[in-house]
Amino acid sequence: MTRTAGRAFLADPEKHWKDGRSAKMLAEAWESAVPNLPLELSDAFAGTPFETFDPVLAIPEYEVDLPGGRRSSQNDLFVLGRIDGELAVLVIEGKVDESFGPLLSEWLRSASPGKLRRLAFLQETLGVDEAPMDGLRYQLLHRTASPVIEATRLRARYAAMVVHSFSSIDSGLDDYRGFVSLLGGTGTKGRLERITGSDDPELWMGWISGDAKSARSSVPEWTTIHERSTPLPRVIAHADWGSDPRKQWMCVAELRGGRRYHIASPEPVGTPGSLLHRLRDRANGDGVAVGFDFPIGMPAEYARRAGIRDFLEVLPQLGHDRWADFYTVASTPGDISLTRPFYPQRPGGTNQRHLTEALGVADITDLLRICDRANETRGAASPIFWTMGGKQVGKAAIRGWREVLAPALRDGDLDVTIWPFDGDFTELIARGGIVIAETYPAEACLHVGLTPPGRGWSKRSQDGRRAQGELIEAWACQRPVELHDELRARVGDGFGPSKSAEDPFDAMLGLLSMVDVALGYREDGAPDSDVVRGVEGWILGQADPGVKGLRRP
């Protein structure tokens, strides 16, 4: 992330991202120290477990949800790292001349039940039996609770809250010392101290002073976390689209505060025909991105033979007129034709050769799209028109095209675009409306940082799914996202022992991949090819293997 990228995370960028303000000065101080920690912080860590702190990632303007209201604790800098193999959470609060906000007595004036509930939660988190109303600053209370909350969530052993001050007169130091004394500490400047009685996790606190002039000099760039300037969709949803409606699950992420996605536990898709309307309502009319794990597009060789040059143009026609039998799965080889390509209706005496001969192609691989072909990390997908076997996708495509995509294109009440046919993913989500994209859970595993399914683990096994939990949590920690407690529990349990648990698991994986692309951590991957953007389509986030220059049939 460049030094200006952190600006996008601020609640009020115009107000806070200025020379002499803590947000910009903190970013400059930390960036100028890369790949090390700021010297004043390293000095304060000396003689403590944090002396060996090895940072893994840093996220500016990191939000920690608190009960009793919608407003979260927005921490200036969240740093996740390790200390001798143990996870450690570090939260940095930057200060120049800003105060630590209202006194607790002021914040509690005409307090709602929600505020009282929040105060009780913060006191319990920090082990404070009774907080002095007059002398305590509310911000210190919830900022110090933030690393404890996150360390507990991540099962980290260590938590620390450090004030990084750039004030020449140590503005706010007295408030800090008064608060630390309440917790049993001294508040000594320039030193990290452990708060007694904090064991799980251990809580450490410190106040350090930075040099404002050196912080602004020669600032390099640091690791990209998120640098997306285009508007984000209010809702991102991903549906695992089995041919059996009872196995159709979706996972939904909702943008809160304009900066952070909250990801809910998977839920049943419900009636397919109303899905897009329901998602639009869920977004209050704002932008929606929705992914489906059925093919959206046709093999180029089939399209050439059928005289199809534009997938979106022919899609609403399928099932009507010349294409009246398109969705009727052929029962015998003699039933197969270019206008009735799905086969077979039932097992017994069937062969993929029947399909290739009837459709006039040389080999079954001619009925694979470019994005369906095998690559270094996974095998080939099943041909779209083959409807038999555990890997088949034909029946899901039939239901998806007939019940969702084609009706959506004909619905004048919906503003729908389909990627990549209508444009680049970032351009489509920026214009708003509903953006539809194709996904593939086996591919999504790679985007989230998992090893390919079938190489040491299986999505069909509870133990295999459970073993991916730490990697999924690590992915979430590196993104401005929050996993709902119920989802986190399901991830930790491998989504349970049910034979159908793979379906909600896939719904979640596809969503995480979509969020990655929407936030700018991953390109959409679609090649600049007439074939891909006109007929075949692409799998969101899948890398381009180099097919530029291909022409539409």
Residue % of the chain over a pLDDT of 90: 66
For residues 80 and 139, state if they share a domain: yes
Neighbours of 457 (CB within 10 A): 18
| Tens-digit pLDDT profile for residues 269-304 | 999 999 999 999 999 989 999 999 999 999 999 999
For residues 73 and 155, state if they share a domain: yes
In the listed set 162, 185, 215, which residue is the last one of a domain according to the structure?
A: 215
Residue-level pLDDT at 213: 47
Strands 267-268 and 249-256: antiparallel
- Name the residue among 172, 192, 202 with its Cα closest to residue 101: 172
Residue-level pLDDT at 8: 37
Neighbours of 423 (CB within 10 A): 16
Q: 256: pLDDT confidence band, cut at 50, 70 and 90?
A: confident
Residue-level pLDDT at 1: 36
Residue-level pLDDT at 477: 82
CA 330 and chain centroid, separation: 40
- Name the residue among 20, 147, 124 with its Cα closest to residue 76: 147
Query: What length is written for the chain?
Result: 553
For residues 397 and 366, state if they share a domain: no
| Cβ partners under 8 Å of residue 390, min gap 6 | none
Torsion angle (degrees, nearest 10) of CA 135, 138, 143, 144: 40
* Domain assignment of residue 547, yes or no: no
For residues 400 and 499, state if they share a domain: yes
One-character DSSP codes across 242-299:
-SSGGG-EEEEEEEETTTEEEEPPPEE---GGGHHHHHHHHTTTS-EEEEESS--S--
Task: Show the CA angle centred on residue 359, arms to residues 358 and 365, nearest 5°.
Answer: 115
E strands, 425-468, are 434-438
Residue-level pLDDT at 553: 43
Residue 115: helix, strand or coil by DSSP? helix
Residue % of the chain over a pLDDT of 70: 89
Name the residue type at position 301: E
For residues 172 and 32, state if they share a domain: yes
- pLDDT at 212 exceeding the cut of 70: no
- pLDDT at 545 exceeding the cut of 70: no
Task: Tell me which residue has tokens 């993929």.
Answer: 352
For residues 62 and 88, state if they share a domain: yes
Residue 352: helix, strand or coil by DSSP? helix
* Domain assignment of residue 352, yes or no: yes
Residue-level pLDDT at 133: 64
* Domain assignment of residue 140, yes or no: yes
Residue 352 to residue 469: CA distance in whole angstroms:
38
For residues 399 and 500, state if they share a domain: yes
H-helix or E-strand containing 220?
none
Residue 438 to residue 426: CA distance in whole angstroms:
15
Residue 327 to residue 277: CA distance in whole angstroms:
24
For residues 283 and 409, state if they share a domain: yes
H-helix or E-strand containing 161?
strand 158-165
Name the residue type at position 527: P
| Tens-digit pLDDT profile for residues 357-402 | 999 999 999 999 999 998 877 788 899 999 998 889 999 999 999 9
| Tens-digit pLDDT profile for residues 29-40 | 887 777 788 889
- pLDDT at 96 exceeding the cut of 50: yes
| Tens-digit pLDDT profile for residues 498-520 | 999 999 999 999 999 999 999 98
Residue 83: helix, strand or coil by DSSP? strand
| Cβ partners under 8 Å of residue 358, min gap 6 | 333, 336, 337, 343
Domain span including residue 44: 5-215
In the listed set 215, 244, 259, which residue is the last one of a domain according to the structure?
A: 215
Residue-level pLDDT at 135: 78
For residues 290 and 322, state if they share a domain: no
Residue 143 to residue 161: CA distance in whole angstroms:
7
Residue 336 to residue 327: CA distance in whole angstroms:
11
Residues 483-499 have a mean pLDDT of 94
For residues 289 and 321, state if they share a domain: no
* Domain assignment of residue 379, yes or no: no
For residues 344 and 478, state if they share a domain: no
| Cβ partners under 8 Å of residue 479, min gap 6 | 226, 261, 515, 516, 519, 521
* Domain assignment of residue 258, yes or no: yes
* Domain assignment of residue 204, yes or no: yes
Number of domains in the chain: 3
* Domain assignment of residue 528, yes or no: yes
Residue 443 to residue 201: CA distance in whole angstroms:
36
The answer to whether 525 and 541 are in contact (CB under 8 A) is yes
Name the residue type at position 456: G
Q: 497: pLDDT confidence band, cut at 50, 70 and 90?
A: very high
For residues 104 and 205, state if they share a domain: yes
Q: 258: pLDDT confidence band, cut at 50, 70 and 90?
A: low
Q: Of the given ranges (120-129, 220-229, 314-323, 480-489), which has the lowest mean pLDDT?
A: 220-229
Q: What are phi and psi of 476, to 5 degrees?
A: -65, -35
Q: 3: pLDDT confidence band, cut at 50, 70 and 90?
A: very low
Q: What are phi and psi of 132, to 5 degrees?
A: -65, 125
Residue-level pLDDT at 186: 93
Q: Of the given ranges (208-222, 500-514, 528-542), which has the lowest mean pLDDT?
A: 208-222
Distance from the first to the final alpha carbon of the chain: 41
Residue-level pLDDT at 363: 95
| Tens-digit pLDDT profile for residues 450-483 | 988 888 999 999 999 999 998 998 888 888 888 9
